[in-house]
Structure 1
Amino acid sequence: MAILSVNINKIATLRNSRGGNVPDLLKVAVDLESFGAQGITIHPRPDERHIKYQDARDLKRIVTTELNIEGNPIDSFIKLVDEVKPAQVTLVPDAPDAITSNAGWDTIKHRDFLTEIVSHFRNQGIRTSIFVDSVIEMVEGAKETGVDRIELYTEDYASHYNKDKEAAIAPYIKAAKKATELGIGINAGHDLSLENLKFFAQQLPDLLEVSIGHALISESLYLGLENVVNMYKARLSS
């Protein structure tokens, strides 16, 4: 069964909108774990418009499951990860002004750079994942970097799920099979929701982890965090 890591960027966005500490990001992380979340994901960006670098340091002290830090490996990000030493770092090719992640790495074009970064983090005992599109060549390129896992970028799946879910999942099945063949672990994330997660997880039996934030927090406005966390876990286990 894949584990559920909850991305709490949206909690930080809400907190920052008033300049105080409501909601309390650290308390939310602790509560999510008590509700059954099996990991906490954050994606600090250089402008700290949601997750602040200090949040990463503070979360390291209190997260008892797995802390996953996502981001573009610019110098400040690398230094932060070196300091915090999370369980996992996920490399994402975000532009500084990106509203949200919108593409995976070209692991062929950036192979040398990614190989250097992966080696740097793995030498510190940090499990390393690369954000990739569901393209066989990109999975094969990721293997060449020495990475532990890939995270499949699932926006395309989510956007086509209601039109033709079989067609939407097909490239992800192929990419996942290739990753398993190459000995790479499989994570997934972006626009996964209560509606589309169950089918996705059923079709990718080697899926290890999903990272879900925007949909989960939005659904929790109506259903409550504790209820929604367990609804997600049920979809991963069925």
Structure 2
Amino acid sequence: MSIHTREMQKRRKKLMTLMKANSIALLAAASPKVRNNDAEYLYRQNSDFYYLTGFSEQDAVLALIPGRKEGEVVLFCQEKDKQKELWTGIILGQKAAIDELGVDEALSIRNIDEVLPELIAGRDHVYYAIGKSKKFDVRVMEWVKVIRNMPRFNAYPPSEFLLLDNLLHELRLIKSPAEIKLMRHAAKISAEGHKRAMASCKPGLNEYELEAQLLYAFARNGSRA
């Protein structure tokens, strides 16, 4: 059970109607968390990014540009790489991203430093999650520096940076029928797991054995803890 692509498109469209004129919104995927050396923790996507895209891969940035003739929704994501996919799992790639996620344009994340300044240039307002990621904050400022050095007369940097959270989290407060259905399903799975754990309770049982009962109930219903 999941949210349909059409609903993701509606969410993006609704967010863009709330943005100021001549603006752009930027949202980055979550960064992977290193456990030790070259081993990482199980990846969890940024909730806001997933809310707007339904995309669970890392190394991605979403740009929403209301009124852009070439396409208002641009996704930067990883390129297909068969060798890498042997280790990390399937990478969606640009073509499939357009088909499956309903974005207008999908570009390689490798080219973001060349392309995104062009998309920001001439926009008066930039929305993004200010202060959430030092790395992304620095990157945004680097793109602004690139814009300052552009030779075009209309390539001016933005005059205002706005917190995207203020708009996006207001949207997320109102749940759609599909979201309510999904939340009810999740609650049902959670209740089943807890009932299963309680039913297996007895003296001498270890905590990890109860956890196993919970996780089993989640997994058999297609969910993850």
Between the two structures, name the one with larger relative contact order (CA 8 Å, sep ≥ 6).
Answer: 1
Q: What TM-score, normalized to structure 1?
A: 0.29
Higher gyration radius (CA): 2
